[in-house]
Amino acid sequence: MPTFSDLLKAHYEQTPEKVCLTILRSGQPDLPVTYRELIHGAAGYVKTYRQNGILPGDVVTIILQHGVDILYAYYGAILHGAIPSIMPFLTEKLLPEKYRAELASLVSITQPTAIVTYAEFESEVRAALKPGEDSVEAVIVSDQAEGPCPPDFASFDGLKRKADDIAVLQHSSGTTGLQKGVALSHQAILNQLTNYSQAMRWTKEDVFVSWLPLYHDMGLIACWLMPILLGSHLVLMSPFDWVRGPYRLFQAVSKYKGTLSWMPNFAYNFCAQKVRDRDLEGVDLSSWRAITNAAEPIRWESHQAFYERFKQYGFRFESLATLYGMAENVFAIVQGGIYEPVPYEDIDRESLQTRKIAELAKPGQVVIRMVGSGKTIPNTNIRIVDEKGRDLPDRQVGEVALKSDCMLTEYYRRPDITRKAFIGDWYLSGDFGYLVDGQLYITGRKKDLIIVGGKNIYPQDLEVLAYEVPGVHAGRASAFGVYNETTGTEDVVMVCEVDADEQAERQKIADGIRAAVTRGSAIALRYVHLVKSPWLVKTSSGKTARSANREKFLKEMQEKGFRVIQSGNRPGVKWGYLSTEDQTDVIFELLEKKQTSSS
């Protein structure tokens, strides 16, 4: 089997003038890059890595934004035989000290030999390092790297790598640093690209349009490695530019006749709400044959809102697609919406939450609308299993187990968690779901599940209800459980970001959230904590970090005079409830007595 370097060499020799990447730059002309330019730029980095003592098999951490610098640094590492690893760039929303701590955590675990970054960011990088103690031997500043030059393929160690050698590290998103480096071999990634391109009906004429960050599997695999290695055209914009102007995505699809894109669910709502007609004059979206929803729980309402907003510009409903995947399988596991329309079904809420059975709802029953994530891509198998690893029948909710020819080699330098992730040769995903005739429906994350009076509550279902209340910031709510030893079950806390300052307005919003959750779910929401932006903790990939928000909430309550009492009544529970010094009671009753301004 060929390696990445073999494919890059073939593109350089066979189609050197083909544009493989067009970089969209805010306030500047778009920048096309041919395979010749890519390889010449990467060859300059091969020289740079050699000069800094980087050896084949060494990890190179890259902290650069979208542009030619990250393109040349990344593919230069591949041609050199090193292992590239992209880390998120520091933004204004992150505290520098927190970012340094995350970088230090990543360095201690993945042990990179070099870090590549900008001159103006070098001081931040060095502040996180411990000279003489950690593995980093060189901090390479991008504008001091060797310039583009013709490649000397005979000397490139990347062409000497084997199919089962580790090709790249991609990191599972987290809130305390990207602590789990997923080590992926050349063979695993190329197997994924072969399997997934078949599932997507890919051709070299496809044009990929993306704003996704490259440190997350959806951006890294689907919108970075896949188009460039397989020979398609990639149109790439910065996620920072997309957030500031989401209309740029639609203009790019229209200008370059884009056919394929991927986005998380929140982006469908964001685009439908933020893109104005004046920015879409002359835009034609009829070339967009698949825009795939992945990386977050998929919402039928989000698809509907997106379609209704953009159908007048040629967007077709059948172009809405879905996916379930994870870094541990390189990327895709199932794909929907390509060979047949994305299915959805209305499930009886009571049956799902109390009996873990996805029964189709009957008239008059309260429903949860579920959207299918798709069917397995080639050479990939999934099972739904119970807590003992036994197979469950269709419509029975359990954990998704996975086996394929695309699996990770290991969690890099973490044999302990690698072993725990498998039962035999089946990988346990940590996600709950059910199957119907091969179609996978995801119900939620195992670690986020809230159990209230024997009912299994998925926090994202409650958060969606909160977003319906005027005054709550879209995508800025977090629901989680806090164990109540008095009742022997969990109570639910909802933290929401709002702008309101007046107590009467805040009370109105809080009451609205309680009412919406009580009306739309099987639980009564006991406590709403209203906060100012940016309070909520997100993962590096933008997902709600519920466990971290729980910890932050409990810490704040402790600072207000309540004492955290640890509880271990349910496996995995490390949080607790709060009490005053003179009595023990449930947190919600105490907070009501204290009349905090948050409720």
Identify the CATH number of the domain in which residue 97 sits: 3.40.50.12780
Which residues does the chain have with pLDDT short of 50?
174-177, 565-599
Domain carrying residue 573: 450-594
Q: How far is CA 548 from CA 458, 477, 523, in A?
A: 17, 13, 23
Last residue of a domain, one of 226, 261, 296: 261
What pLDDT, on the 0 to 100 scale, is given for residue 36?
98
* Residue 303 belongs to a domain: no
What pLDDT, on the 0 to 100 scale, is given for residue 95?
66
Write the CB contacts of 130 (distance below 8 Å, at least 6 apart in sequence). Answer: 104
Q: Where do runs of H (alpha helix) occur along 200-327?
A: 217, 226-230, 239-244, 247-256, 265-274, 300-310
* Cis before 534 (ω within 30): yes
Last residue of a domain, one of 246, 261, 276: 261
Best CA proximity match to 332, nearest among 372, 391, 269, 380: 380
What pLDDT, on the 0 to 100 scale, is given for residue 583?
30
Q: How far is CA 523 from CA 32, 443, 462, 514, 518, in A?
A: 54, 17, 9, 10, 6
* Residue 251 belongs to a domain: yes
What pLDDT, on the 0 to 100 scale, is given for residue 89?
81
What pLDDT, on the 0 to 100 scale, is given for residue 599?
37
* Residue 348 belongs to a domain: no
Report which residue type is found at 365: Q
Task: Look up the CATH number of the domain holding residue 525.
Answer: 3.30.300.30
Distance in angstroms (rounded) separating the CA atoms of residues 476 and 492: 17
Last residue of a domain, one of 237, 261, 285: 261
Write out pLDDT tens, residues 262-298. Answer: 998 889 989 999 999 999 999 999 999 999 999 878 9
Name the region of 395 (left: φ>0; alpha: ψ -120 to 50; beta: rest): left
* Residue 278 belongs to a domain: no
pTM for the structure as a whole:
0.83
Distance in angstroms (rounded) separating the CA atoms of residues 434 and 393: 8
What pLDDT, on the 0 to 100 scale, is given for residue 149?
98
* Residue 291 belongs to a domain: no
89, 64 Cβ separation under 8 angstroms: yes
Q: Count the domains in the chain.
A: 2
* Residue 349 belongs to a domain: no
* Residue 387 belongs to a domain: no
What pLDDT, on the 0 to 100 scale, is given for residue 571?
37
* Residue 333 belongs to a domain: no
Edge to edge, the sheet with strand 527-531 lists: 472-484, 489-498, 527-531
